[in-house]
């Protein structure tokens, strides 16, 4: 592993840790309440009182960005947990059983790939109205086939290996072998994939909130802030810069972390992107 790569890993880990810390701090403290409207101080420039200025309703941009980090990371986290929680068992099942079960599950995964998170979110919103839960669900559903494919792909080869055959000869069932032998051996691959999906989920959440299918106002979110900022792009261009920079920085951090982890854990793993 080169010094260049480990520098990437450290930078990625630092950025990610910073984002998580900001999201956690936002739970208990932000400079101002992120939804507090203060019309007399609207569209204020950068100052000591408002380090990143205020928006058209006089809300403190720094506070909104911090609260947005919390909204963004929690949607992404739940979407990854949903995707891995259902996708990993399904992929492990396909790998363990093979045959028609494997075929059926993989064809179902192909089908699910035809519905990008955006289309699923469109359907859910048409059905049940907009909300942050839609975004989590839509991105989570999109993540299921991703995790199923990666799990199945990495687990299938392992089923031919000697240590699995040994476990089988000693009378272990499919489930026990999967839990005791298969999953620990593919944990690294899954961790890297989770990092990639986490980054994709942050972008997806921001995109859905931007078009109004995700987090709803007054709840602050980076995508929503970008949408609001666009109306005032001639008067206050900086408002459109900060939330996008926050999204880009988080995604960059997670991608660097994912690349670094991949090299660290298993140099032979091919990227699943």
Partner 1 sequence: MTTYLLRRLAILLLTLLAASLVVFIVLQVLPGDPAALMLGTGAREDTLAALRARLGLDAPLPLRYLRWAGGMLLGDFGVSYTYGVPVADLIRQRVAVSLPLAAMAIVLSTAIAIPTGVWAASRRGRASDAAAMGVAQIGVALPNFWLGILLVLAFAVKLPWFPASGFPGWAAGPRPALAALILPAIALALPQAAILARVTRAAVLETLGEDFVRTARAKGLTQRAALWRHAVPNALIPVVTLLGLQFSFLLAGTVIIENVFTLPGLGRLVFQAITQRDLIVVQDLVVLLACSVIMVNFAVDLAAAWLDPRLRASAT
Q: Give 122's contacts (C-beta < 8 A, 6+ positions apart).
A: 213
43: left (phi over 0), alpha (psi -120 to 50) or beta: left
CB of 256 to partner 1, least distance (A): 7
Measured from the CB atom, the residue of 177 and 255 that comes closer to partner 1 is 255
Shortest spacing between CB 16 and partner 1, in angstroms? 12
Rounded to an integer, what is the distance from CA 140 to the centroid of its chain? 9
> Closest separation between CB of residue 218 and partner 1, Å?
20
Place of tokens 């403290």: 29
Positions that interact with partner 1 (CB under 8 A): 4, 103, 107, 110-111, 113-119, 122-123, 125-127, 199, 203, 206-207, 210-212, 226, 229-230, 233-234, 237, 240-241, 243-244, 247-249, 251-252, 255-256, 271, 273
d(CA 55, CA 57): 5
At its nearest, how many Å lie between partner 1 and the CB of residue 67? 19
Least separation in angstroms between CB 259 and partner 1? 8
Is the dihedral angle over the CA atoms 175, 181, 184, 189 positive or is it negative?
negative
CB of 262 vs partner 1, minimal distance in Å: 12
Q: How far is CA 13 from CA 4, 151, 203, 244, in A?
A: 14, 24, 19, 20
> Angle of helix 3-28 relative to helix 61-97, nearest 10 degrees?
120
DSSP code string of 223-257: HHHHHHHHHTTTT-GGGGTHHHHHHHHHHHHHHHH
Nearer Cβ to partner 1 (177/192): 192
For the beta carbon of residue 22, count every other beta carbon within 10 angstroms. 19
Whose Cβ is closer to partner 1: residue 26's or residue 139's? Answer: 139
The CA-based angle 30-34-36, given to 5 degrees, is: 120
Q: Which is nearer to partner 1, 60 or 228 (CB)?
A: 228
- If the CB atoms of residues 193 and 255 are measured against partner 1, the closer one turns out to be 255
CB of 234 to partner 1, least distance (A): 6
Task: Kindly tell me which of 34 and 130 has the beta carbon lying closer to partner 1.
Answer: 130
Question: What φ, ψ does residue 54 adopt, rounded to 5°?
Answer: -130, 165
Nearer to partner 1, 6 or 179 (CB): 6
């Amino acid at each position: 592993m080169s010094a260049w790569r480990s520098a990437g890993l450290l930078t990625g880990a630092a950025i990610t840790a910073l984002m998580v810390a900001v999201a956690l701090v936002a739970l208990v403290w932000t400079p101002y309440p992120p939804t507090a409207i203060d019309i007399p101080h609207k569209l204020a420039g950068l100052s000591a009182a408002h380090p990143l200025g205020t928006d058209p309703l006089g809300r403190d941009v720094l506070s909104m960005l911090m609260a947005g980090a919390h909204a963004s990371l929690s949607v992404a986290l739940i979407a990854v947990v949903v995707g891995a929680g259902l996708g990993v068992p399904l992929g492990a099942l396909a790998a363990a059983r093979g045959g028609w079960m494997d075929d059926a599950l993989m064809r179902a995964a192909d089908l699910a790939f035809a519905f990008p998170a955006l289309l699923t979110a469109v359907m859910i919103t048409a059905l049940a109205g907009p909300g942050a839960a839609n975004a989590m669900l839509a991105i989570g559903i999109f993540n299921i086939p991703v995790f199923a494919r990666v799990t199945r792909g990495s687990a299938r080869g392992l089923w031919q290996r000697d240590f699995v055959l040994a476990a089988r000869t000693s009378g272990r069932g499919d489930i026990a072998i999967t839990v005791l032998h298969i999953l620990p051996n593919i944990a690294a691959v899954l961790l890297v994939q989770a990092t990639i999906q986490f980054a994709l989920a942050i972008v997806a959440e921001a995109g859905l909130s931007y078009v109004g299918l995700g987090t709803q106002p007054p709840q602050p979110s980076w995508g929503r802030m970008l949408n609001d900022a666009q109306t005032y792009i001639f008067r206050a261009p900086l408002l459109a810069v900060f939330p996008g920079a926050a999204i880009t920085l988080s995604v960059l951090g997670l991608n660097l972390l994912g690349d670094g982890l991949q090299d660290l854990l298993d140099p032979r793993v091919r990227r699943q992107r």
